[in-house]
């Protein structure tokens, strides 16, 4: 049996709703198109340019991905080796080393380190590592290493300057103004240089320089400085006479200035007094060979008299007594 299916006619209300929805969709489409059009208008590219731009972005992403894969696979190391081979075949290989700035340092010690790079491609030379290796040399204060293409390494050395000689139990060693050890020297090479001795004196070199600067006239006459008990100085002059200074930077400087004034007035250096002891703040002891204790010991300064005047008078008396 056949049945006939009939549809109910669309009501006016539904038809109006459908028409309203269609109008909203069309309006949204028009707004979207208008925004896109305005955005495209701001980009100074045509359709072909935009196509190239998108294609470039895709290629960049692909290259980045390939680079990540290459790193994981160890390709950069292989590439570096290949570049080094190309540089070597092209003549960019270390064949010469030029050393500058050496005066006291034996250049062979620099060449020993720099020539380890010989026959390497210039691209493989680690300049920072070579510089660090050179700084281990005792005479080197600073160093600069550079490439001079196609085949030369240039090494510029800044040397430390010898300042004094350190007396050790078994040898003499040159040191710079900071107390840094440079190299052992013979007595002949040490002749004429200030000699330092005493435990821990390496750390007192700059303090000694400041002390001697307080009395510039005496500095050139000092042959040796002894750091005693890690607390004070004995100065040995070129005349063979010795001056014992008190503890403390200020006290030692004041005593040395006082001694310089006394020497300027009475010419103590070169006289018969072999030792001057200024460790006591109120008296000075003078030692003269062959004299008794009474003649060698300085009396206390008289009331109202300065210590310098008293010591000068005593030194004069002691010299006259001998």
Residue 148 to residue 122: CA distance in whole angstroms: 9
Q: Are residues 198 and 299 in the same domain?
A: yes
CATH classification at residue 300 = 3.40.50.11690
Q: Is pLDDT above 90 for 206?
A: yes
Reported as a pLDDT band with limits 50, 70 and 90, residue 123 is confident
What per-residue confidence (pLDDT) applies to 294?
A: 39
Determine the structural domain holding residue 144 and report its residue range: 93-159
CATH number, domain at 98?
3.10.20.310
b/e map 25-55, b = 16+ CB within 10 Å = eeeeeeeeeeeeeeeeeeeeeeeeeeeeeee
Res. 130: pLDDT tops 60: yes
Q: Of 109, 131, 159, which marks where a domain is finished?
A: 159
Task: List, in sequence order, every residue forming a beta bridge with 243; answer none if it has no partner.
Answer: 235, 276
Question: Which residues are CB-contacts of 282 (< 8 A; sequence separation ≥ 6)?
Answer: 300, 301, 307
Q: Report whether pLDDT(195) > 80.
A: yes
Q: Who has greater pLDDT, 196 or 290? A: 196
Higher pLDDT, 63 or 275: 275
* pTM metric for this prediction: 0.63
The pLDDT score that the predictor gives to residue 125 is 83
Same domain, 148 and 214: no
- Which range among 12-16, 36-40, 131-135, 191-195 shows the weakest confidence by mean pLDDT? 36-40
Report the candidate in 198, 171, 196 with the shortest Cα–Cα distance to residue 186. 171
Say what the pLDDT of residue 60 is: 60
Q: If you average pLDDT over residues 205-221, what whole number do you get?
A: 95
Residues 193 and 302 in one domain: yes
Statement to judge: residues 200 and 297 lie in one domain = yes
In degrees and rounded to multiples of 5, residue 122 shows phi and psi of -60, -30
Place of tokens 């100085």: 233
Residue 118, C-beta contacts closer than 8 angstroms, at least 6 positions apart: 94, 95, 97
261 in the same domain as 171: yes
CA 154 to chain centre: 21
Who wins on pLDDT, 149 or 57?
Answer: 149
> DSSP character for 93?
B
DSSP 231-259: TEEEEEETTS-EEEPPSSHHHHHHHHHHH
* Res. 315 pLDDT band, cuts 50 70 90: very low
- Let me know if residue 192 belongs to a domain: yes
Q: What is the pLDDT of residues 139-171, one digit of tens each?
A: 999 999 998 888 888 999 999 999 999 999 999
Single out the residue in 159, 178, 213 at which a domain terminates: 159
End position of a domain, from candidates 159, 177, 205: 159
What pLDDT is recorded for position 306? 43
If one counts the domains in the chain, the total is 2
Q: Is the pLDDT of residue 263 over 60?
A: yes
Q: Is 13's pLDDT higher than 80? A: no
β-sheet bridge partners, residue 142: 158
């Amino acid at each position: 049996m056949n049945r006939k299916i009939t549809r109910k006619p669309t009501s006016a209300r539904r038809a109006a709703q459908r028409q309203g929805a269609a109008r909203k969709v069309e309006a949204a489409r028009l707004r979207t198109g208008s925004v896109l059009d305005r955005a495209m208008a701001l980009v100074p590219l045509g359709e072909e340019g935009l196509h190239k731009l998108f294609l470039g972005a895709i290629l960049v992403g692909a290259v980045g991905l390939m680079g990540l894969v290459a790193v994981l696979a160890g390709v950069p190391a292989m590439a570096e080796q290949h570049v080094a081979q190309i540089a070597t075949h092209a003549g960019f290989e270390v064949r010469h080393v030029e050393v500058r700035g050496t005066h006291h340092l034996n250049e062979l010690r620099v060449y020993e380190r720099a020539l380890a790079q010989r026959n390497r491609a210039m691209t493989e030379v680690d300049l920072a590592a070579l510089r660090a290796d050179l700084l281990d040399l005792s005479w080197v204060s600073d160093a600069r290493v550079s490439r001079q293409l196609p085949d030369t390494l240039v090494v510029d050395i800044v040397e430390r300057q010898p300042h004094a000689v350190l007396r050790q139990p078994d040898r003499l060693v040159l040191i710079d103004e900071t107390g840094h050890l440079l190299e052992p020297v013979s007595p002949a090479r040490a002749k004429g240089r200030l000699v330092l001795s005493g435990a821990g004196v390496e750390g007192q070199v700059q303090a000694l320089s400041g002390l001697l600067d307080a009395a510039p006239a005496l500095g050139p006459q000092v042959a040796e400085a002894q750091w005693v008990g890690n607390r004070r100085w004995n100065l040995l002059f070129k005349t063979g006479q010795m001056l014992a200074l008190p503890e403390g930077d200020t006290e030692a400087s004041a005593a040395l200035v006082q001694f310089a004034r006394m020497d300027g007035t009475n010419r103590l250096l070169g006289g018969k007094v072999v030792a001057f002891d200024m460790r006591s703040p109120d008296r000075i002891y003078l030692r003269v060979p062959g004299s008794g204790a009474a003649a060698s010991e300085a009396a206390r300064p008289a009331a109202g008299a300065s210590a310098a005047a008293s010591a000068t008078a005593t030194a004069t008396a002691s010299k006259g007594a001998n």
